[in-house]
Amino acid sequence: MKITLLCALGMSTSLLVKKMNQAASARGLDVEVEAYAVDSLETQLKTADILLIGPQIRYKKNEIFPKAEAAGVPIEIIDMKAYGTIDGEKVLDQALELKKRGND
């Protein structure tokens, strides 16, 4: 499963990506987490199973969410507290729950 994090420039989430990949590996999950700039949304919609957007770009929600929904890709804003504390476990759980809801 590919989890894509979108942020302003694709750089501010790099530590969170590392923590999420470590958490997935520790759980034995076949998960790939990557971060990209929000400007690459169209490209990411072609390969992502889950999209999470950084809280700092939540103002783009009305632009991003309809495109993700049209492409059938579940999307949410990353929990602000988990993002701020770089809690890879919690953000991974958020992504897995989003995927589960998308499959229900």
Q: Which residues are catalytic?
A: 7
- 3-state secondary structure at position 91: helix
C-alpha 100 chain-centroid distance: 14
